[in-house]
């Protein structure tokens, strides 16, 4: 999986935070929801425009971001 196919950063969208392409759903928000105990199914039911691959991409992006000091664009 290439997270780059699902995640984008644009200064004009949510002040440049990484988001699911074509949405304002941030990687941060997805991680917060999953960390709070939401299941993937619950998240997808609440945000039907987000796809399972988008959630996996957010997790992959977060793992890469934590493994380096550079900003991932």
Say how far apart CA 36 and CA 45 lie, in whole Å: 16
- CATH code assigned at 60: 1.10.10.10
Q: What is the pTM of this model?
A: 0.89
Q: Is residue 72 part of a domain?
A: no
* CA angle at 66 for the pair 46 and 18, rounded to the nearest 5°: 45
Range of the domain at 55: 3-66
Q: Is residue 71 part of a domain?
A: no
Scan for tokens 């995640």, then name that residue. Answer: 7
pLDDT at 72 over 70: no
Q: Is residue 14 part of a domain?
A: yes
Say how far apart CA 70 and CA 73 lie, in whole Å: 9
- Where does the chain show beta strands of DSSP type E? 7-8, 19-20
How many folded domains does the chain comprise?
1
pLDDT digits (tens, 9 = 90+) for 13-67: 999 999 999 999 999 999 999 999 999 999 999 999 999 999 999 999 999 988 8
């Amino acid at each position: 999986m290439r997270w780059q196919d699902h995640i984008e950063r644009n200064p004009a969208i949510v002040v440049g935070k990484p988001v699911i392409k074509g949405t304002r759903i941030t990687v941060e928000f997805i991680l917060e929801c999953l960390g709070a105990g939401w299941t993937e199914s619950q998240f997808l039911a609440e945000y039907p425009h987000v796809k399972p691959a988008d959630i996996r991409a957010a997790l992959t992006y977060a793992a890469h971001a934590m493994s380096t000091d550079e900003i991932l664009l």
